[in-house]
Amino acid sequence: MMNPAVPAPSAPAAALQLWRSADAIQKAAIVIGLSLVLLAVLAPIVAPFDPNSQSLIARLRPPLGFERAKAGHLLGTDELGRDVFSRSLFGLRLTLMLAGLGATLGLLIGGTLGLLAGIVGGRTEASIMAAVDTQIAVPFTLVALFLLAILGSSIEVIVLVLGLAGWEQYARIVRGEVRRLMKLPFIEAARAAGAAPLRIAHRHLLPNIVSPLVVQFTLALSNIVLLESTLSFLGLGVQPPTATLGSMVGIGRDYMPTAPWIVAAPAMMILLVTFAVQILGDWLRDGADVRLRAR
Amino acid sequence: MLSYALRTLIRMVLTFFVIVTIVFFATRLSGNAVDFVIGEGMTTEDRDLLIKYYELDRPIWSQYLAFLRAFTDGQFGLSFIERRPVSEMVLERIWPSTQLLLSAVGLTVLVSIPLGIAAAIWRKSWIGSAVMVVAFLGYAVPNFVLAIVMVLLFSYWLNWLPVVGNGTALHFIMPTVALAGVLIAALTRFTRNAMLDVLGQDFMRTARAKGLPENAVILRHGLRNAGITILSVIGLQVAGLAASGSVVIEAIFAWPGIGDLLVSSALRRDYPVLQFGVLTVALAVIVINAAVDLAYAWADPRLRHTVKG
């Protein structure tokens, strides 16, 4: 259901307007981000090889254009003769998928708790905010190490861990916004008209906190990509032979002196992802923050 | 001030207690911890023996009390794998970690504060933009990528720097830079924003109007006022980022610190070590946060009297 109070320009027109407002670096970030997503989605079609099929006679071949390169292997092959380009594409796909799921889970957990804290108040609010403070007090990499060690590195656990990274930011933002909004006359009016708390949350609060949440989601996404890559790099993420960008860098590290290309492609992709997402997040934040726009 | 300190202390103890409780129940609820380490070929009798040794057959509340009691008598148990007291294994690694952390934070401060000030003063010129682009890149490059690129360049190709261990001053260079990378990006941004906030204040205009040279205006009035914010950011955010980052960096460079121990324990599922290590780092972070909080309140009396905690 659309909120009738918000004028809705047609989607393509809005996108065009956004594109025009971006500067050169931001446009580059948009193009890079979209192409990466496209590559990830189309990985099964674009990838020339099965990412896990090994070939012992084609091990550690350099990218095309170098001596000893093997035809067809654009970015060379790894220590088991697997195609680096195909593995990078599938790694990118899995990394983006995990990060997307994790960020969404964090948004759901944090958003719900923040909404609850802001609307109910009292003891509920105090204990939720105490949990937020506790989470902030502990460096999250430690929490992640601990959880993965005791729960094992299945996909479900990894998504859970990534979801727990950053939920507290959403909770803080939502609670703050809700408390601000609850004081405004239109909420008072809704309550006086007899609207139930759930209806107030759904109809009046959520539409008003969408934009800070979108911004936070984007910023969280790059952190989560980094966290997932770090954990995979350490060998605590998705287990081999399945490739994620981080685990490719982690395993390829052992072959770096002789075969740096194994690491180069996935490392470059991680960099592009985080770079694009960060720029986009900042751009959205500046766009959403009226005070910054005036500067 | 005293009541503020007391409140901070109580909050600190409570937070730590919550973390201890969560860590305890998380490990127990995930199944029988002994099964993490049991290899093939272990008989049921061996398993029962292990369970008895680690007292995992007792009711959970009594295990919890025993776990809490460890904080009074210092008996935190033995590592599953090395059969040494976990407290000994963790404590001997505190100093190397502290050294690495201090050198990384030191480097960060030396680089970021001048850069941040420059970016604020010359915000509109190419200098400001250049600094911010570098800060952005520092954010986007994961520390482990920075680390292995340096290893490739300076160790394998140029053969200048050692890769593993912490024996000499040369060993410090790469881990310090790799760890400081993201910290520099973060602190440069914070410094720039803090300076920008201060630069727009009325007293800055007054200082200029009374004829102070620009350098003095910026250092004496600008930096001193932005300094409090910057210091608290170093204590709260930079310390936390450094603690997270050092886990990876220590693992890469086989630095004999807590991070390296935590990663290897996690990979080997040596949960007594992991448990104690996580609690140690959590305690350290909580203490640093509280210390920063107190220093901040001491430096800025307004804070003590506002609603906090």
Q: What's the average model confidence in pLDDT over A261-280?
A: 88
* Residue that wins the pLDDT comparison between B235 and A4: B235
| Beta-carbon count within 10 A of B247 CB | 26
Residue A292 is predicted with a pLDDT of: 44
Is pLDDT of A100 > 90? Answer: yes
Q: Does the beta carbon of B151 lie under 8 angstroms from any beta carbon of chain A? A: yes
Residues of chain B with C-beta less than 8 angstroms from the C-beta of A134? 15, 18-19, 22
Q: How confident is the model at residue A208 (pLDDT cuts 50, 70, 90)?
A: confident
Could you tell me how many residues make up chain A?
Answer: 295
Tell me how many domains chain A contains: 1
Domain-embedded: residue A122: yes
ipTM: 0.81
Q: Does the beta carbon of B281 lie under 8 angstroms from any beta carbon of chain A? A: yes
Residue B45 is predicted with a pLDDT of: 79
- Whether residues A140 and B27 touch (CB distance < 8 A) is answered with no
> Which residue in B27, B144, B243 is closest to A139 by CB distance?
B243
Domain-embedded: residue A141: yes
Mean pLDDT of all residues belonging to chain A = 84
> Which residue in B23, B137, B247 is closest to A141 by CB distance?
B247
Q: Is B286 exposed, middle or buried (0-12, 13-18, 19+ CB in 10 A)?
A: buried
CA distance A178 to A193: 19
Residue B69 is predicted with a pLDDT of: 84
Q: Which tens digit of pLDDT belongs to each residue from B255-289?
A: 999 999 999 998 888 888 988 898 998 888 888 88
Determine the residue of chain A that is closest to B258 in CA distance. A142
Tens of pLDDT along chain B (309 residues) come to 678 888 888 888 888 888 888 888 887 766 666 666 665 566 777 777 777 777 777 787 888 888 888 888 877 888 878 888 888 888 999 999 999 999 999 999 999 988 988 888 888 888 888 888 888 778 778 889 899 888 888 888 887 888 787 778 888 889 999 999 888 888 888 888 888 888 777 777 788 888 778 777 777 777 777 777 787 777 777 777 788 888 899 999 889 999 999 999 988 888 889 888 989 988 888 888 888 878 777 776 666 665 443
Which residue range is the domain that position A202 belongs to? 26-38+79-289
* Residue with token string 């250049």: B130
Is pLDDT of A4 > 60? Answer: no
- Whether residues A145 and B263 touch (CB distance < 8 A) is answered with yes
Query: pTM for this structure?
Result: 0.84
∠ CA B69-B73-B75, nearest 5°, is 85
- Whether residues A142 and B244 touch (CB distance < 8 A) is answered with yes
How does DSSP classify residue B78?
Answer: B
Residues 6+ apart with CB under 8 A from A163: A101, A102, A103, A104, A105, A106, A108, A109
Residues of chain B with C-beta less than 8 angstroms from the C-beta of A234? 247-248, 251, 263, 266-267
Q: Does the beta carbon of A294 lie under 8 angstroms from any beta carbon of chain B? A: no
Domain-embedded: residue A32: yes
Residue A64 is predicted with a pLDDT of: 80
Q: Does the beta carbon of A248 lie under 8 angstroms from any beta carbon of chain B? A: no
Interface of A with B in 144-163 (CB under 8 A): 145-151
| Beta-carbon count within 10 A of B13 CB | 12
Distance from CA of B219 to the nearest CA of A (A): 24
Q: By the 8 A CB rule, do B178 and B143 touch?
A: yes
Q: Does the beta carbon of A11 lie under 8 angstroms from any beta carbon of chain B? A: no
Nearest to A171 by CA among A140, A127, A203: A127
Q: Does the beta carbon of B141 lie under 8 angstroms from any beta carbon of chain A? A: yes
Partners of A83 in the β-ladder: A77
Is pLDDT of A104 > 90? Answer: yes
CATH number of the domain residue A138 falls in: 1.10.3720.10
CA distance A260 to A75: 11
Domain-embedded: residue A124: yes
Residue A8 is predicted with a pLDDT of: 53
Domain-embedded: residue A119: yes
Domain-embedded: residue A43: no
Q: By the 8 A CB rule, do A96 and A37 touch?
A: yes
The structure tokens listed for A221 are 């996404």
CB-defined contacts A:B, below 8 A: 123
Partners of B85 in the β-ladder: B78
Q: Which tens digit of pLDDT belongs to each residue from B106-156?
A: 999 999 988 988 888 888 888 888 888 888 778 778 889 899 888 888 888
- Whether residues A139 and B240 touch (CB distance < 8 A) is answered with yes
Q: Does the beta carbon of A187 lie under 8 angstroms from any beta carbon of chain B? A: no
Burial code (b: 16+ CB inside 10 Å, e: under 16) for B39-61 equals eeeeeeeeeeebbeebeeeeeee
- Whether residues A146 and B289 touch (CB distance < 8 A) is answered with no
Q: Does the beta carbon of A274 lie under 8 angstroms from any beta carbon of chain B? A: yes
Q: What distance lies between CA A161 and its chain's CA centroid?
A: 13
- Whether residues B271 and A150 touch (CB distance < 8 A) is answered with yes
Domain-embedded: residue A142: yes
Mutation site, B139, B264, B307, interface A, largest A CB count within 10 A = B139
- Whether residues A137 and B141 touch (CB distance < 8 A) is answered with no
Q: Does the beta carbon of B128 lie under 8 angstroms from any beta carbon of chain A? A: no
Domain-embedded: residue A5: no
Interface of A with B in 75-104 (CB under 8 A): none
Is pLDDT of A280 > 70? Answer: yes
* Residue with token string 């200082």: B207
CA distance A290 to B214: 31
Is pLDDT of A289 > 60? Answer: no
